[in-house]
Amino acid sequence: MSHELRTPLNAIYGFTELLNKTQLNKNQQEILSIIKSSVEILMAVINDILDFSKIESGNLKIENHPFNLDEAVKSIRELFCYRAAEKRLNLKFNLDKILPKFINGDKIRISQI
């Protein structure tokens, strides 16, 4: 089951990497970035589902690495901005200025939330 799910996603991810090496306009680069982020999040979700036994046994590993919080929020916003625009909604994300630029944590899990 894992190969049936992971193989097509790995192909999509690989093609986004290939496309990223070609000449793209700004709009195409933004769309490609959104696709890549979406695939990364979906791969993480699938990995978690396939590793459900680890969750049940208490062996789920939460990453703890520094990442740029503003960039993470910006990439999450990009996932939803086109959908919001279709519905004529104005999507805003505001981070409190007292938050540090980099935090330690699990960037993928934050994106899933």
Tens digits of per-residue pLDDT, 25-79? Answer: 999 998 998 898 889 888 888 877 776 767 777 877 888 999 999 998 888 888 7
Q: Indicate the pLDDT class of residue 1, thresholds 50, 70 and 90.
A: low
Tens digits of per-residue pLDDT, 72-93? Answer: 888 888 878 877 888 888 888 8
Let me know if 100 is exposed, middle or buried by CB neighbors in 10 A (0-12, 13-18, 19+): exposed
Can you point out the beta strands (E) in 1-113? 65-68, 102-105
Q: Kindly state the tokens that stand for 99.
A: 């938050």
CB neighbours of residue 85 within 10 Å: 11
Average pLDDT, integer, range 8-16: 88
- 105, β-bridge pairs: 65
Q: d(Cα 70, Cα 68) in Å, to the nearest integer?
A: 6
